[in-house]
Amino acid sequence: MLAAPLVVIGLAGCSSLGPDSAGAGEVALAFHAAHEGGDGGQACELLTEAARTELEQSSEQPCDEAILAEDLPTAGRVVEVAAYGGDARIVLDGDVVFVTVEGGQWKVTAAGCEFRSDRPYDCTLTGS
Amino acid sequence: MTSPASNGFLRTNGLTVFFGTIFLLALVGQALTGHAVYNNGQVTDGLAEVSLLRYLTSSEFAVDVTENWQSEYLQFLLYILATVWLVQRGSPESKELDKVGIESDKDQMIGKYARPNSPAWARAGGLRLGVYARSLGLVMGLIFLLSWLAQSISGHSAYNREQLASLQEPIAWLGYLGSADFWNRTLQNWQSEFLAVASMVVLSIYLRQRGSPESKPVGAPHEATGLEG
Protein backbone atom coordinates (compact mmCIF):
# COMPACT_ATOMS: atom_id res chain seq x y z
CA MET A 1 0.00 0.00 0.00
CA LEU A 2 2.89 2.31 0.81
CA ALA A 3 4.53 1.34 -2.46
CA ALA A 4 1.67 2.62 -4.62
CA PRO A 5 2.25 6.35 -4.07
CA LEU A 6 6.01 5.77 -4.35
CA VAL A 7 5.51 4.17 -7.77
CA VAL A 8 3.37 7.12 -8.83
CA ILE A 9 6.01 9.56 -7.55
CA GLY A 10 8.60 7.75 -9.67
CA LEU A 11 6.43 7.81 -12.78
CA ALA A 12 5.42 11.42 -12.24
CA GLY A 13 9.02 12.38 -11.61
CA CYS A 14 10.14 10.71 -14.82
CA SER A 15 7.33 12.22 -16.87
CA SER A 16 8.13 15.65 -15.47
CA LEU A 17 11.58 15.32 -17.01
CA GLY A 18 9.90 14.94 -20.37
CA PRO A 19 10.86 12.82 -23.34
CA ASP A 20 14.51 13.52 -24.13
CA SER A 21 14.74 17.18 -23.23
CA ALA A 22 18.19 17.41 -24.85
CA GLY A 23 16.54 16.42 -28.14
CA ALA A 24 14.14 19.34 -27.78
CA GLY A 25 17.05 21.76 -27.59
CA GLU A 26 18.70 20.20 -30.63
CA VAL A 27 15.51 20.63 -32.70
CA ALA A 28 15.26 24.30 -31.69
CA LEU A 29 18.87 24.86 -32.72
CA ALA A 30 18.40 22.95 -35.99
CA PHE A 31 15.31 25.03 -36.79
CA HIS A 32 17.20 28.27 -36.26
CA ALA A 33 20.21 27.00 -38.22
CA ALA A 34 17.97 26.07 -41.17
CA HIS A 35 16.19 29.44 -41.06
CA GLU A 36 19.37 31.44 -40.78
CA GLY A 37 21.00 29.31 -43.51
CA GLY A 38 18.11 29.95 -45.90
CA ASP A 39 16.98 26.31 -45.98
CA GLY A 40 13.21 26.86 -45.86
CA GLY A 41 12.42 23.22 -46.63
CA GLN A 42 14.41 21.95 -43.65
CA ALA A 43 12.95 24.62 -41.36
CA CYS A 44 9.43 23.62 -42.41
CA GLU A 45 10.24 19.94 -41.78
CA LEU A 46 10.84 20.89 -38.15
CA LEU A 47 7.49 22.68 -37.74
CA THR A 48 4.33 21.02 -36.45
CA GLU A 49 1.60 20.38 -38.99
CA ALA A 50 -0.50 23.11 -37.36
CA ALA A 51 2.33 25.64 -37.49
CA ARG A 52 2.98 24.89 -41.17
CA THR A 53 -0.72 25.27 -42.00
CA GLU A 54 -0.99 28.52 -40.03
CA LEU A 55 2.06 29.93 -41.77
CA GLU A 56 0.87 28.98 -45.27
CA GLN A 57 -2.64 30.32 -44.69
CA SER A 58 -1.55 33.63 -43.19
CA SER A 59 1.13 34.25 -45.85
CA GLU A 60 -0.65 32.63 -48.83
CA GLN A 61 2.73 31.17 -49.81
CA PRO A 62 4.29 27.70 -49.64
CA CYS A 63 5.83 27.01 -46.24
CA ASP A 64 9.45 26.87 -47.46
CA GLU A 65 9.13 30.37 -48.90
CA ALA A 66 6.98 31.87 -46.17
CA ILE A 67 9.24 30.66 -43.35
CA LEU A 68 12.23 32.53 -44.75
CA ALA A 69 10.20 35.74 -44.81
CA GLU A 70 9.56 35.43 -41.07
CA ASP A 71 11.62 37.96 -39.12
CA LEU A 72 13.12 35.65 -36.52
CA PRO A 73 16.03 36.70 -34.33
CA THR A 74 19.36 34.94 -34.72
CA ALA A 75 19.96 32.43 -31.97
CA GLY A 76 22.94 30.55 -30.60
CA ARG A 77 23.46 27.92 -27.93
CA VAL A 78 20.82 26.36 -25.69
CA VAL A 79 20.62 28.21 -22.39
CA GLU A 80 17.75 26.31 -20.72
CA VAL A 81 15.26 23.56 -21.55
CA ALA A 82 12.02 23.14 -19.60
CA ALA A 83 10.23 19.96 -20.73
CA TYR A 84 7.01 18.57 -19.24
CA GLY A 85 5.15 15.67 -20.83
CA GLY A 86 5.24 16.23 -24.57
CA ASP A 87 5.87 19.98 -24.48
CA ALA A 88 8.99 22.04 -23.95
CA ARG A 89 10.26 25.59 -23.90
CA ILE A 90 13.81 26.17 -25.06
CA VAL A 91 15.59 29.35 -24.13
CA LEU A 92 18.31 29.96 -26.71
CA ASP A 93 20.92 32.65 -26.67
CA GLY A 94 18.84 35.15 -28.68
CA ASP A 95 15.38 33.52 -28.86
CA VAL A 96 12.77 31.42 -27.07
CA VAL A 97 11.29 28.44 -28.96
CA PHE A 98 8.37 26.16 -28.00
CA VAL A 99 8.28 22.55 -29.20
CA THR A 100 5.90 19.61 -28.84
CA VAL A 101 6.06 15.89 -29.60
CA GLU A 102 4.34 15.08 -32.89
CA GLY A 103 4.72 11.72 -34.57
CA GLY A 104 7.25 10.70 -31.92
CA GLN A 105 9.56 13.65 -32.68
CA TRP A 106 10.01 17.13 -31.31
CA LYS A 107 8.52 19.75 -33.62
CA VAL A 108 8.51 23.52 -33.34
CA THR A 109 5.17 25.10 -32.38
CA ALA A 110 6.38 28.67 -31.88
CA ALA A 111 9.55 30.69 -32.39
CA GLY A 112 10.64 34.28 -32.11
CA CYS A 113 8.95 34.48 -28.72
CA GLU A 114 9.24 37.32 -26.25
CA PHE A 115 8.33 37.03 -22.57
CA ARG A 116 5.31 38.98 -21.29
CA SER A 117 4.52 39.03 -17.60
CA ASP A 118 1.32 37.12 -16.68
CA ARG A 119 0.46 36.59 -20.37
CA PRO A 120 1.45 34.07 -23.03
CA TYR A 121 4.71 34.71 -24.86
CA ASP A 122 4.38 37.02 -27.89
CA CYS A 123 5.67 34.89 -30.78
CA THR A 124 6.46 35.83 -34.37
CA LEU A 125 5.73 32.28 -35.56
CA THR A 126 2.94 30.28 -33.87
CA GLY A 127 0.69 27.30 -34.45
CA SER A 128 0.06 24.63 -31.80
CA MET B 1 -19.50 -24.02 16.53
CA THR B 2 -17.86 -22.77 13.35
CA SER B 3 -18.12 -25.02 10.32
CA PRO B 4 -15.05 -25.57 8.05
CA ALA B 5 -16.85 -23.81 5.20
CA SER B 6 -17.25 -20.67 7.27
CA ASN B 7 -13.48 -20.44 7.60
CA GLY B 8 -12.85 -20.34 3.86
CA PHE B 9 -10.47 -17.61 2.69
CA LEU B 10 -13.03 -15.64 0.72
CA ARG B 11 -15.55 -15.77 3.53
CA THR B 12 -13.15 -14.67 6.22
CA ASN B 13 -11.52 -11.99 4.04
CA GLY B 14 -14.60 -10.87 2.20
CA LEU B 15 -14.26 -7.17 2.95
CA THR B 16 -10.65 -6.97 1.77
CA VAL B 17 -11.31 -9.06 -1.35
CA PHE B 18 -14.47 -7.13 -2.23
CA PHE B 19 -13.01 -3.65 -1.83
CA GLY B 20 -9.67 -4.67 -3.38
CA THR B 21 -11.50 -6.01 -6.42
CA ILE B 22 -13.78 -3.03 -6.94
CA PHE B 23 -10.78 -0.71 -6.41
CA LEU B 24 -8.93 -2.40 -9.27
CA LEU B 25 -12.00 -2.43 -11.51
CA ALA B 26 -12.63 1.26 -10.84
CA LEU B 27 -8.96 2.10 -11.48
CA VAL B 28 -9.05 0.24 -14.80
CA GLY B 29 -12.26 2.07 -15.68
CA GLN B 30 -10.68 5.41 -14.76
CA ALA B 31 -7.64 4.58 -16.91
CA LEU B 32 -9.72 3.66 -19.96
CA THR B 33 -12.13 6.59 -19.73
CA GLY B 34 -9.32 8.99 -18.84
CA HIS B 35 -7.41 7.83 -21.91
CA ALA B 36 -10.46 8.51 -24.08
CA VAL B 37 -10.97 11.97 -22.59
CA TYR B 38 -7.28 12.80 -22.99
CA ASN B 39 -7.26 11.77 -26.64
CA ASN B 40 -10.44 13.77 -27.31
CA GLY B 41 -8.54 16.80 -26.05
CA GLN B 42 -5.55 15.95 -28.22
CA VAL B 43 -7.75 15.76 -31.33
CA THR B 44 -9.47 19.03 -30.43
CA ASP B 45 -6.07 20.72 -30.08
CA GLY B 46 -4.89 19.30 -33.40
CA LEU B 47 -2.35 17.03 -31.65
CA ALA B 48 -1.57 13.34 -32.10
CA GLU B 49 -3.43 10.77 -29.97
CA VAL B 50 -1.35 8.89 -27.40
CA SER B 51 -1.23 5.18 -26.55
CA LEU B 52 -2.81 3.80 -23.39
CA LEU B 53 0.65 3.06 -21.95
CA ARG B 54 1.79 6.61 -22.62
CA TYR B 55 -1.35 7.93 -20.90
CA LEU B 56 -0.88 5.62 -17.90
CA THR B 57 2.62 7.03 -17.36
CA SER B 58 1.50 10.62 -17.91
CA SER B 59 1.38 13.22 -15.18
CA GLU B 60 -2.28 13.87 -16.09
CA PHE B 61 -3.31 10.31 -15.09
CA ALA B 62 -1.06 10.36 -12.02
CA VAL B 63 -2.48 13.59 -10.63
CA ASP B 64 -6.07 12.48 -11.21
CA VAL B 65 -5.39 9.28 -9.24
CA THR B 66 -3.31 10.69 -6.40
CA GLU B 67 -5.47 13.72 -5.64
CA ASN B 68 -8.21 11.26 -4.71
CA TRP B 69 -5.91 8.89 -2.84
CA GLN B 70 -4.50 11.57 -0.56
CA SER B 71 -7.92 12.85 0.42
CA GLU B 72 -9.20 9.36 1.27
CA TYR B 73 -6.21 8.62 3.48
CA LEU B 74 -6.50 12.03 5.11
CA GLN B 75 -10.16 11.34 5.81
CA PHE B 76 -9.38 8.10 7.60
CA LEU B 77 -6.35 9.57 9.37
CA LEU B 78 -8.42 12.42 10.78
CA TYR B 79 -11.18 10.03 11.70
CA ILE B 80 -8.76 7.76 13.53
CA LEU B 81 -7.20 10.66 15.45
CA ALA B 82 -10.29 12.83 16.02
CA THR B 83 -12.30 9.96 17.49
CA VAL B 84 -9.69 9.58 20.23
CA TRP B 85 -10.59 12.99 21.63
CA LEU B 86 -13.96 13.94 20.15
CA VAL B 87 -17.25 12.14 20.72
CA GLN B 88 -20.75 12.43 19.29
CA ARG B 89 -23.73 11.58 21.44
CA GLY B 90 -25.85 8.91 19.81
CA SER B 91 -23.39 7.97 17.05
CA PRO B 92 -22.05 4.43 16.64
CA GLU B 93 -19.02 6.07 15.00
CA SER B 94 -18.14 7.59 18.38
CA LYS B 95 -16.94 5.86 21.50
CA GLU B 96 -18.81 6.28 24.76
CA LEU B 97 -18.90 9.84 26.07
CA ASP B 98 -16.83 9.09 29.19
CA LYS B 99 -14.00 7.45 27.28
CA VAL B 100 -12.52 10.58 25.74
CA GLY B 101 -8.75 10.37 25.40
CA ILE B 102 -6.20 7.58 25.02
CA GLU B 103 -7.91 5.44 27.72
CA SER B 104 -6.30 3.32 30.44
CA ASP B 105 -3.75 0.54 29.95
CA LYS B 106 -6.44 -1.86 31.17
CA ASP B 107 -8.95 -0.73 28.59
CA GLN B 108 -6.28 -0.88 25.89
CA MET B 109 -4.95 -4.30 27.00
CA ILE B 110 -1.33 -3.22 27.14
CA GLY B 111 1.56 -3.68 29.56
CA LYS B 112 0.55 -5.91 32.44
CA TYR B 113 -2.99 -6.01 31.10
CA ALA B 114 -1.90 -7.55 27.81
CA ARG B 115 -3.40 -10.91 27.01
CA PRO B 116 -1.51 -14.01 25.90
CA ASN B 117 -2.75 -13.50 22.35
CA SER B 118 -2.08 -9.75 22.28
CA PRO B 119 0.40 -8.60 19.59
CA ALA B 120 4.03 -8.91 20.77
CA TRP B 121 4.64 -5.15 20.61
CA ALA B 122 1.52 -4.57 22.74
CA ARG B 123 3.04 -6.77 25.43
CA ALA B 124 6.40 -5.01 25.13
CA GLY B 125 7.01 -1.67 26.80
CA GLY B 126 8.92 1.44 25.87
CA LEU B 127 9.46 2.58 22.31
CA ARG B 128 8.00 -0.51 20.65
CA LEU B 129 4.72 -0.12 22.52
CA GLY B 130 4.72 3.61 21.87
CA VAL B 131 5.13 3.08 18.15
CA TYR B 132 2.69 0.19 17.94
CA ALA B 133 0.07 2.12 19.91
CA ARG B 134 0.15 4.78 17.17
CA SER B 135 0.95 2.56 14.19
CA LEU B 136 -2.42 2.83 12.46
CA GLY B 137 -2.36 6.62 12.46
CA LEU B 138 1.34 6.71 11.56
CA VAL B 139 0.96 4.46 8.52
CA MET B 140 -2.26 6.10 7.31
CA GLY B 141 -0.59 9.48 7.79
CA LEU B 142 2.49 8.36 5.89
CA ILE B 143 0.41 7.08 2.96
CA PHE B 144 -1.51 10.38 2.99
CA LEU B 145 1.70 12.41 2.86
CA LEU B 146 3.23 10.25 0.13
CA SER B 147 0.05 10.44 -1.94
CA TRP B 148 -0.12 14.21 -1.47
CA LEU B 149 3.53 14.49 -2.46
CA ALA B 150 2.82 12.37 -5.55
CA GLN B 151 -0.13 14.66 -6.35
CA SER B 152 2.08 17.74 -6.06
CA ILE B 153 4.80 16.28 -8.33
CA SER B 154 2.46 14.94 -11.00
CA GLY B 155 0.19 18.00 -10.73
CA HIS B 156 3.20 20.28 -11.19
CA SER B 157 4.21 18.38 -14.33
CA ALA B 158 0.67 18.38 -15.76
CA TYR B 159 0.24 22.08 -14.96
CA ASN B 160 3.51 23.00 -16.65
CA ARG B 161 2.66 20.92 -19.72
CA GLU B 162 -0.51 23.00 -20.10
CA GLN B 163 1.46 26.19 -19.51
CA LEU B 164 3.93 25.29 -22.25
CA ALA B 165 1.20 24.18 -24.66
CA SER B 166 -0.35 27.64 -24.32
CA LEU B 167 3.04 29.39 -24.67
CA GLN B 168 3.23 30.37 -21.02
CA GLU B 169 6.01 30.27 -18.47
CA PRO B 170 6.43 27.02 -16.48
CA ILE B 171 6.63 27.41 -12.70
CA ALA B 172 8.84 25.79 -10.06
CA TRP B 173 7.53 22.97 -7.84
CA LEU B 174 7.59 25.21 -4.76
CA GLY B 175 5.63 27.83 -6.68
CA TYR B 176 3.13 25.17 -7.69
CA LEU B 177 2.58 24.29 -4.00
CA GLY B 178 1.16 27.79 -3.55
CA SER B 179 -0.83 27.78 -6.77
CA ALA B 180 -4.60 27.84 -7.16
CA ASP B 181 -4.41 24.67 -9.29
CA PHE B 182 -2.77 22.63 -6.49
CA TRP B 183 -5.11 23.85 -3.77
CA ASN B 184 -8.21 23.62 -5.93
CA ARG B 185 -7.44 19.97 -6.71
CA THR B 186 -6.71 19.36 -3.01
CA LEU B 187 -9.65 21.17 -1.44
CA GLN B 188 -12.28 19.91 -3.85
CA ASN B 189 -11.42 16.41 -2.64
CA TRP B 190 -11.09 17.32 1.03
CA GLN B 191 -14.48 19.01 1.22
CA SER B 192 -16.29 15.94 -0.12
CA GLU B 193 -14.50 13.63 2.31
CA PHE B 194 -15.27 15.84 5.28
CA LEU B 195 -18.92 16.13 4.24
CA ALA B 196 -19.22 12.34 3.95
CA VAL B 197 -17.73 11.79 7.43
CA ALA B 198 -19.89 14.44 9.06
CA SER B 199 -22.96 12.95 7.34
CA MET B 200 -22.11 9.46 8.54
CA VAL B 201 -21.60 10.63 12.13
CA VAL B 202 -24.93 12.45 12.24
CA LEU B 203 -27.11 10.15 10.11
CA SER B 204 -26.02 7.09 12.08
CA ILE B 205 -27.54 8.64 15.21
CA TYR B 206 -31.04 8.37 13.77
CA LEU B 207 -30.86 5.87 10.92
CA ARG B 208 -30.05 2.15 10.99
CA GLN B 209 -28.67 -0.53 8.69
CA ARG B 210 -29.58 -3.91 10.06
CA GLY B 211 -26.52 -6.15 10.46
CA SER B 212 -23.91 -3.49 9.75
CA PRO B 213 -21.27 -2.73 12.41
CA GLU B 214 -21.28 0.81 11.08
CA SER B 215 -24.84 1.15 12.41
CA LYS B 216 -26.37 0.76 15.82
CA PRO B 217 -28.73 -2.20 16.25
CA VAL B 218 -32.05 -1.31 14.67
CA GLY B 219 -33.80 -1.16 18.01
CA ALA B 220 -31.12 0.83 19.81
CA PRO B 221 -32.25 4.23 21.13
CA HIS B 222 -31.08 7.37 19.34
CA GLU B 223 -29.17 8.57 22.39
CA ALA B 224 -27.12 5.34 22.72
CA THR B 225 -23.49 6.13 21.91
CA GLY B 226 -20.71 3.77 20.88
CA LEU B 227 -23.01 0.83 20.17
CA GLU B 228 -22.30 -1.17 17.03
CA GLY B 229 -24.89 -3.46 15.50
Question: In the prediction, which pLDDT does A4 show?
Answer: 72
From chain B, pick out residues whose CB is under 8 angstroms from the CB of A49: 46
Closest CA to B141 of B63, B66, B78: B78
pLDDT single digits (tens) B166-196: 999 999 999 999 999 999 999 999 999 999 9
d(CA B45, CA A111): 19
Interface of B with A in 142-201 (CB under 8 A): 142-143, 146-147, 149-150, 153-154, 156-158, 160-161, 163-170
Q: Which domain holds residue B40?
A: 14-57
Domain count, chain B: 2
Q: What is the mean pLDDT of residues A8-31?
A: 74
Q: How confident is the model at residue A17 (pLDDT cuts 50, 70, 90)?
A: very low
Q: Give the range among A118-127, B44-53, B132-141 with minimum mean pLDDT.
A: B44-53
> Same structural domain for residues B39 and B84?
no
Instruction: Tell which residue, B72, B42, B68, has the closest CA to residue B55.
Output: B42
Same domain? B32 vs B92: no
- Residue A16 pLDDT: 44
Q: Residues B29, B140: one domain?
A: no
**CATH ID of A3-125, from 2.60.290, 3.30.70, 3.30.450, 3.10.450:** 3.10.450
Residue B210 domain flag: yes
Q: Where are the domains of chain A?
A: 3-125
A83 contacts: CB under 8 Å, gap ≥ 6: A17, A18, A19, A21, A24
Q: What is the pLDDT of residues B68-93, one digit of tens each?
A: 999 999 999 999 999 999 999 999 99
Same domain, B23 and B86: no
> B46: pLDDT confidence band, cut at 50, 70 and 90?
confident
Mean pLDDT for the stretch of residues B121-142 = 95
The answer as to whether B85 is a domain residue is: yes
Residue B8 lies in a domain: no
User: Which tens digits make up the pLDDT trace of B93-105?
Assistant: 999 999 999 999 9
> B169, B182, B185: which to substitute to probe chain A, counting the most A Cβ within 10 Å?
B169
pLDDT digits (tens, 9 = 90+) for A21-80: 889 999 999 999 999 999 999 999 999 998 999 999 999 999 999 999 999 999 989 999
Residues 6+ apart with CB under 8 A from B56: B31, B35
Q: Does some domain include residue B197? A: yes
pTM, 2 dp: 0.88
What pLDDT shows up at residue B188? Answer: 97
Residue B74 shares a structural domain with residue B52: no
Is residue B63, in this structure, part of any structural domain at all? no
**Per-residue pLDDT, B63:** 96
Specify whether B23 is located in the same domain as B89.
Answer: no
Residues B11, B49: contact at Cβ < 8 Å?
no
- Kindly state whether residues B187 and B166 are assigned to the same domain: yes
B83 lies in the same domain as B171 = yes
> Given strand A78-84, what is the order of strands in its sheet?
A78-84, A87-92, A95-102, A105-116, A119-125
Q: For residue A111, what is the nearest residue in chain B, using CA coordinates?
A: B167
* Whether B98 and B23 share a structural domain: no
Query: For residue B183, what are the contacts with CB-CB under 8 A and spacing of at least 6?
Result: none
